[in-house]
Structure 1
Amino acid sequence: MRLKIGEVSKLLDMPVETIRFYEQHGILNPKRKEGGKYREYEISDIFNLTGYMYYRNMGFSLKDIIIMRKETLSYFLSEINKKQISVEHEIQYTIMLKKYLEDHQKKLEAVNHNLGNFWFSIQPEKKYVVFSQHDQGKCCEIDYNNPILSEWLKKMPFVTGAQHISQETLPERDIIYPSVRTLIVESRHIPFLKLPVDDSIDTVIEQLCLSTIVDTRGSDDLSFELLDPALQYIEKSGYKICGNIIGMLLVHTCEAGEMHSYMEVIFPIER
């Protein structure tokens, strides 16, 4: 029994281009009948392909499989071990992502309840790298030459964008505060994500904070009007600001034709 390439493709659910790739690398050698127009594949060719499919479905690339089939058993076992380590990392990443999604969902479900309200919590240590400086909504500087930025951006959503407002600027009470835009991540995630860290990375220590949700109405800038209720609450509660205020965007939405930008704002405090 012999099959044409289209029939083999349908039988194995394998693209014709992939079958031709195998042919180009000498893995398949279809026969052409004398005077025939089409190449034909024997049952042995099909079973040969299933051997490649076996390892392809383990996650090995076609190039890897071709090399492995020409190597020793020790080499084969080494590649299997590497794949196990890779799969374990993927599993851990998926578990971590699932937890992140669950936490983010809870935050979104509580947006309307927490909007304008306040709560205290111990915020975990975070690390951040400066992305740009902003003043009155204008970008003043972007450090394009910092290679860490591109590496950290690849690790979103665990790395997220943040806006830092210096506590020294609070008394000025400008309409819009000058801010530093950063990429920020909880320190505990850095080893697993293999994020590069150098002297350009700063730390936000674990500390008591007051948190709130504000709506910047489509803007990414924090204003005195938005922060003042929390600042007054902190003062009335007998606390004081002891570090930079950090705002992190939760979600952009459009409700009844109006744009909303809900941001979680964290105020580090002490007695």
Structure 2
Amino acid sequence: MLKKYRTRDLFNYIGVPRDTLRFYEEKGLLNPKKNSENNYRNYDIYDIYNLMIIDFYKKRGMTIHQIQNLSNISDMQDMESLLTNKKNELEKLMHDTQCMLKRIEETQEFSRDLERNLNTFTFKSLPLYRINGEISDFIAVEEYENVKDIMSSNNEDMFSQIMRYISFDENGVTGTKMLIVDSAEIKNNNDHYIPYTKCLYTVVEQIHPQDEQEDLIEKMYMVSSEYANKHGIRLLGEAFAMIRLISHKGNKIKTYIEIFIPFE
């Protein structure tokens, strides 16, 4: 006669808690016999064997639903297909996780340097960005339909793909639009890139909603022109701005905008 084990025994011996056993039972993965006198569940070695089977597949990333369907697998070819699909799923998850870690590290680096770069000009190279499309303005929501497929195809958040382009001359700002971009490691001859490396660099803060509307673009034109004239730098009439960090304070949202202004 097979030895019987109670729920607390399985927790003490192999660490499976009561709620997990009940969940497996609800899903049809366990079917312990019950004591007719007190209705307590009695588990035998075959139930423990089933727990180990469940653990075997869970440790290979299988969901409960997939484990439930294992009984429908007829041969090793079906099993190979299941394992291949799970491997592909996990590889994508690992890739997505690596991308998220990279974004976190980049945001951490930006945050650490924020105080030093805020409202202060330095010289910095503009990272290589590929231009994938454009819209007329950030608030031109209807135009997002034209670039949504491009933006969803990249493993990036929306802010990190929207870069404001500003053109100006000696009289002031002449135009602005939004470029849809992604960062690139090397250039491909078939794509278009932002070509500048020598830039004035700064970070500015913008608060939403604003009590007094301030034209940040015009303000940056004035202060960058003054800095360039003072230091004998010839600006090339273009600037690029991107939101890099968002924080909250009460009902206010602060965005920190990274700005590159090419010069020669």
Q: Name the TM-score, length of structure 1 as normaliser.
A: 0.68
Q: Identify the residue that residue 98 of structure 1 maps to in structure 2.
A: 101
Instruction: Please tell me whether the aligned partners of residues 161 and 249 of structure 1 are also in contact (alpha carbons under 8 angstroms).
Output: no
Instruction: Please tell me whether the aligned partners of residues 165 and 179 of structure 2 are also in contact (alpha carbons under 8 angstroms).
Output: no
The runs of 5 or more residues in structure 1 that have no matched partner are 190-201
Q: Identify the residue that residue 213 of structure 1 maps to in structure 2.
A: 203
1:124 aligns with 2:118: no
Instruction: Please tell me whether the aligned partners of residues 241 and 270 of structure 1 are also in contact (alpha carbons under 8 angstroms).
Output: yes
Q: Identify the residue that residue 87 of structure 1 maps to in structure 2.
A: 90
- Considering fraction of residues, name the structure with more strand: 1
1:186 aligns with 2:183: yes
Distance 1:229 1:93, change over 3 A: same
Distance 1:95 1:237, change over 3 A: farther
Give the aligned CA root-mean-square deviation in angstroms: 4.0
Instruction: Please tell me whether the aligned partners of residues 123 and 200 of structure 2 are also in contact (alpha carbons under 8 angstroms).
Output: yes
Q: Identify the residue that residue 244 of structure 2 maps to in structure 1.
A: 249
> After the TM superposition, which of the residue ranges 141-150 and 243-252 deviates more from structure 2?
141-150
The runs of 5 or more residues in structure 2 that have no matched partner are none
Q: Identify the residue that residue 166 of structure 2 maps to in structure 1.
A: 166
Q: Identify the residue that residue 19 of structure 1 maps to in structure 2.
A: 24
For residues 193-208 of structure 1, what are the structure 2 equivalents within 5 Å?
Answer: 203-208=192-197
Instruction: Please tell me whether the aligned partners of residues 163 and 179 of structure 1 are also in contact (alpha carbons under 8 angstroms).
Output: no
The code of the aligned residue for 1:247 comes to M
Q: Distance in 2 between matches of 1:243 and 1:85?
A: 44
Report how far residue 118 of structure 1 moved: 2.1
| Residue correspondences, number | 246
Q: Distance in 1 between matches of 2:171 and 2:26?
A: 68
Secondary structure in 2 aligned to 1:211? strand
Q: Distance in 2 between matches of 1:59 and 1:215?
A: 44
The code of the aligned residue for 1:71 comes to S
Secondary structure in 2 aligned to 1:247? strand
Query: Percent same amino acid at aligned positions?
Result: 16
Distance 1:96 1:65, change over 3 A: same
Report how far residue 129 of structure 1 moved: 5.0
The code of the aligned residue for 1:12 comes to V
Q: Distance in 2 between matches of 1:44 and 1:144?
A: 58
Instruction: Please tell me whether the aligned partners of residues 209 and 252 of structure 2 are also in contact (alpha carbons under 8 angstroms).
Output: no
Q: Distance in 1 between matches of 2:43 and 2:170?
A: 76
Report how far residue 2 of structure 1 moved: 3.2
Distance 1:186 1:56, change over 3 A: same
Report how far residue 124 of structure 1 moved: 0.5
Alpha-carbon displacement from aligned partner over 1:109-136 (angstroms, at most 9, x marks no partner): 11111122221314212345557735xx
Instruction: Please tell me whether the aligned partners of residues 133 and 142 of structure 1 are also in contact (alpha carbons under 8 angstroms).
Output: no
Q: Identify the residue that residue 240 of structure 1 maps to in structure 2.
A: 235
